[in-house]
Amino acid sequence: MGRRKKKSIRQEYTEGLRHLAFGEIQDAVRLLYAPEEQILPALGEMDLFNISEIKRPKGGGMEIKFFDRLKALEKLQALEAAEGNTAAAFYQALEAGAKGAITVAVACAMAGMIAGCITVTGLASILINAIVQMAGDATMIGLLLTMICCIILGMGVPTTANYCIMASTCAPILVQMDYPYLY
């Protein structure tokens, strides 16, 4: 037998407000028009959650007052707004996304600077020619040397920046060794 999860006070409060705002009143109407002898046995089965007050005047009959549905809706709307379902939450999400994009942009800029330095100094062409000459016709050795180059050049660099560096320095090694392009 599984146990039901215990609800937090906030969840119970929200469910209660929803029940007040959108609950049914048929049982209250049935209570109002039922004969007195049928009221007591049926009382336990009725949903009387929306009733705030029941009176029996001296002259007979019954008076039923309901909770204010509009106030329940207002409280429910205020509660949901406090949970972050507002425009302010949308702008906070945009701000967090922009802050995350800054780190990626800086990493890509650094990758461009690293790749540019390797290319301008001639280290890229030396590296390419050395790997191609050492590998010769052995494709597995060429791939192994390219892998080692990728590991060394990619140490301590974020993934996006590492991809940019490898695309500009190690991809030409594979092209020069006549590996087919991947589309």
How far apart CA 29 and CA 46 sit, in angstroms, is 10
- Three-class secondary structure of residue 23 per DSSP: coil
Please, what is the average pLDDT of the chain? Answer: 82
Q: How confident is the model at residue 173 (pLDDT cuts 50, 70, 90)?
A: confident
pLDDT for 113 equals 85
Helical H segments across 63-153, by residue range: 69-82, 87-120, 123-135, 139-153
Tell me the average pLDDT across 123-139.
Answer: 86
pLDDT (tens digit per residue) in 17-50: 888 888 888 888 888 888 878 888 888 888 888 8
Q: Please state the separation of Cα 109 from the chain's center in Å.
A: 28
> What percentage of residues in the chain have a pLDDT greater than 70?
93
pLDDT for 86 equals 63
Tell me the average pLDDT across 105-119.
Answer: 83
- Three-class secondary structure of residue 63 per DSSP: strand
pLDDT for 67 equals 87
- What is the phi/psi pair of residue 42, to 5°? -90, -5
Q: Does residue 2 have a pLDDT over 70? A: no
How far, CA to CA in Å, does 141 sit from each of 132, 134, 138, 167?
Answer: 10, 8, 6, 20
pLDDT for 171 equals 84
Residues in the chain, total = 183
Element (H, E) at 121: none
How far apart CA 37 and CA 45 sit, in angstroms, is 15
Tell me the average pLDDT across 147-174.
Answer: 83
pLDDT for 4 equals 64
